[in-house]
């Protein structure tokens, strides 16, 4: 399997994968903000080019691009879509849904990871195309209201709070507020059944410390560092069998996709969840400490 972002993302994924399997291997080097960001968002081409749509486990499917994840929960009463991504990529998203044998017009509910355009800009268009109900975490509503592609207002049919459930056709998703990256950043959890067994799925909203993020003396959100800490606390309480996230690089999708069909379901990876949390939280703590030190010196 080729890594489109050849050097950086390929090497990084390899390091992380080795870190999971061999207990003797030293912990992977902590990425810089820039490296983590590039690993996650990929190139513009990767952001808008569909990745091969595939079933992950049970009734949960991947319909996103090479670097922006979208998930489809299919049920007899219609489907739930998590992340519409960039509006320009919505035609590709529709094709991915159809390639799996599902009708785009059967999408009844649209959810999102967090109020950034790369994950939720397409909400208005998808609602236009499907009539789906768009639901969003209360703390992200102000940012979503500023997201108006082509002047279209952002649709919000139901405002969610931490712990709210979204149910359709026998599947239930739980919205967990994992703030920091945005104020209403949302991690989705659900139980899926596959081969007569139940599995816990966690779709991490994002805890990325993007380049330029200001954790100290942030006038727009003075509580941002505390919110990140709360987000990590919540995520540390979750114990997924199947860790997923808003960017496929956050759960090693390319490598796992290549292993489908050869042995156990590669998306079952509890150790991978902990390793990714460690990497992302270590980076956050380091950047916070650097910014606190710089602020104290001034
Ligand atoms: Zn983001």
pLDDT tens sequence across 65-85: 999 999 999 999 999 999 999
Distance 116 CA to ligand 1 centre (A): 5
Distance 58 CA to ligand 1 centre (A): 27
**Does residue 184 sit within a domain?**
yes
How many CA atoms lie less than 13 Å away from 133 in the CB half-sphere? 13
- Residue 122: the pLDDT is 98
Q: What is the mean pLDDT of residues 136-165?
A: 97
pLDDT tens-digit map of 206-227: 999 999 999 999 999 999 999 9
- Residue 24: the pLDDT is 56
Check pLDDT > 50 for residue 4. Answer: no
CATH number for position 231: 3.60.15.10
| Residue whose tokens read 């727009």 | 220
**Does residue 138 sit within a domain?**
yes
d(CA 125, CA 132): 10
Distance 25 CA to ligand 1 centre (A): 31
End-to-end CA distance of the chain: give it in Å, rounded. Answer: 48
* H or E element in which residue 107 lies: strand 107-111
From the list 180, 255, 198, the residue with the least C-alpha distance to 189 is: 198
d(CA 197, CA 180): 34
d(CA 180, CA 295): 20
pLDDT tens-digit map of 224-279: 999 999 999 999 999 999 999 999 999 999 999 999 999 999 999 999 999 999 99
Question: What is the pLDDT confidence band of residue 297, given thresholds at 50, 70 and 90?
Answer: confident
CB 258 within 8 A of CB 232: no
d(CA 244, CA 251): 6
Distance 206 CA to ligand 1 centre (A): 7
Check pLDDT > 60 for residue 11. Answer: no
Distance 295 CA to ligand 1 centre (A): 25
The number of distinct structural domains making up the chain is 1
Distance 205 CA to ligand 1 centre (A): 8
**Which structural domain, as residue segments, surrounds residue 140?**
6-297
- Residue 257: the pLDDT is 98
Distance 269 CA to ligand 1 centre (A): 23
Check pLDDT > 80 for residue 205. Answer: yes
Percent of the chain with pLDDT over 70: 90
DSSP 45: H
**Does residue 1 sit within a domain?**
no
Distance 194 CA to ligand 1 centre (A): 31
Residues with CB under 5 A from ligand 1 (ion): 116
pLDDT tens-digit map of 15-73: 444 444 445 556 667 789 999 999 999 999 999 999 999 999 999 999 999 999 999 99
Distance 15 CA to ligand 1 centre (A): 24
Distance 22 CA to ligand 1 centre (A): 31
CB 275 within 8 A of CB 283: no
- Residue 261 gets the label, from left (phi > 0), alpha (psi -120 to 50) or beta, of left
pLDDT tens-digit map of 95-135: 999 999 999 999 999 999 999 999 999 999 999 999 999 99
**Does residue 278 sit within a domain?**
yes
- Residue 108: the pLDDT is 98
Tell how strand 197-204 and strand 242-245 pair up. parallel
Distance 207 CA to ligand 1 centre (A): 9
| Residue whose tokens read 């990497």 | 279
Residue 21, both tokens: 């399997």
**Does residue 43 sit within a domain?**
yes
């Amino acid at each position: 399997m080729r890594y489109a972002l050849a050097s950086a993302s390929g090497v990084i994924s390899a390091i992380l994968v080795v870190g999971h399997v061999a207990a003797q291997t030293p912990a992977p080097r902590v990425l810089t903000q820039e490296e983590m960001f590039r690993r996650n968002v990929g190139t513009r081409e990767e952001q808008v080019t569909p990745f091969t749509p595939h079933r992950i486990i049970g009734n949960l499917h991947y319909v996103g691009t090479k670097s922006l994840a979208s998930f489809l929960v299919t049920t007899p009463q219609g489907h739930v879509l998590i992340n519409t991504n960039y509006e320009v990529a919505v035609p590709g998203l529709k094709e991915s849904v159809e390639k799996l044998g599902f009708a785009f017009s059967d999408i009844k509910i649209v959810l999102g990871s967090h109020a950034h355009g790369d994950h939720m800009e397409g909400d208005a268009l998808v609602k236009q195309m499907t009539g789906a109900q768009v639901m969003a975490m209360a703390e992200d509503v102000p940012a979503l209201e500023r997201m108006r592609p082509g002047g279209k207002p952002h649709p919000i049919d139901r405002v969610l709070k931490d712990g709210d459930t979204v149910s359709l056709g026998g599947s239930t998703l739980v919205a967990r507020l994992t703030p920091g990256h945005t104020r209403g950043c949302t991690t989705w959890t659900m139980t899926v059944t596959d081969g007569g067994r139940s599995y816990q799925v966690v779709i991490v909203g994002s805890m990325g410390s993007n380049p330029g993020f200001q954790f100290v003396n942030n006038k727009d959100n003075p509580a941002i560092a505390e919110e990140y800490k709360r987000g990590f606390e919540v995520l540390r309480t979750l114990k997924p069998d199947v860790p997923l996230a808003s960017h496929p690089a956050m759960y090693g999708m390319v490598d796992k996709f290549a292993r489908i069909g050869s042995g156990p379901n590669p998306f079952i990876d509890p150790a991978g969840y902990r390793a990714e949390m460690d990497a992302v939280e270590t980076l956050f703590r380091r950047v916070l400490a650097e910014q606190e030190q710089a602020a104290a010196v001034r």
